[in-house]
Amino acid sequence: MKLKAVIFDFDGTIADSLVTGLEIFNRLSKKYGYKEIKDPEKHRNMTARELIKELGISIYKIPFIEREVKFELNKEIRKIKIFPGLKDVFTKLEKNKIKLGILTTNTEKNVEDFLDAHKLKMFEIIIAKGSLFGKHKLMKELIKNSNLAKDELIYVGDEIRDIEAAKKTGIRIVSVTWGTNSKKSLEKMGPDYIIEKPEELLELVKKL
């Protein structure tokens, strides 16, 4: 079936928010009683669950940490940059009649404020809510409410948990190497496709 839509993750895929997010996360470490991330490069090879265990984060505190990180991130969201080359990719996909969407566990306000700051008006679908490990539920909601079949779309994300969620839902996943997890750790999870530069997505879409 012909590809009709490309759905993107937000943080680490579109928004270069990782450094800002890390600063906020480390700042909250004393309040919530966990270790700071001292070596971000090392943690690029870890799953979210492995990282939570290593930092000594209580699973009961995760929803509160998530909420506060997202709230603090909103104060900086308009200053956060889009990854180079992506805006051009979005424009070309839109011209080729590909429907664009964002599916993220960040907040709708953070996504809307970022899109407004960068004048990105081409996204028809925005699903922004949920929890750290609830992305597969959002993907099921997308399929149910968008009139898109699973094989008519691809999901583009930067994390191991994106691959896990897509596989659980039966959606094809394109992993990008410029975000949270390293190429090596992404490859281990067996995504359908892996790209290292935004423009590679255009070539991939032509083949699908």
Cα dihedral 153→99→118→84 (10° resolution): 50
Burial 67-84 (b: 16+ CB within 10 A, else e): ebbbebbeeebeebebbe
DSSP character for 18?
H
| CB distance 13 to 166 below 8 Å | no
pTM of the full structure: 0.94
How sure is the predictor about 125, in pLDDT bands with cuts at 50, 70 and 90?
very high
Burial 89-104 (b: 16+ CB within 10 A, else e): bbeebbeeebbbbbbb
**How many Cα atoms sit within 13 Å of 107 on the Cβ side?**
14
Residue 126: its pLDDT value, please? 96
Residue 134: its pLDDT value, please? 82
Residue 70: its pLDDT value, please? 96
What average pLDDT score do residues 40-64 get? 92
Amino acid code (one letter) for 59: I
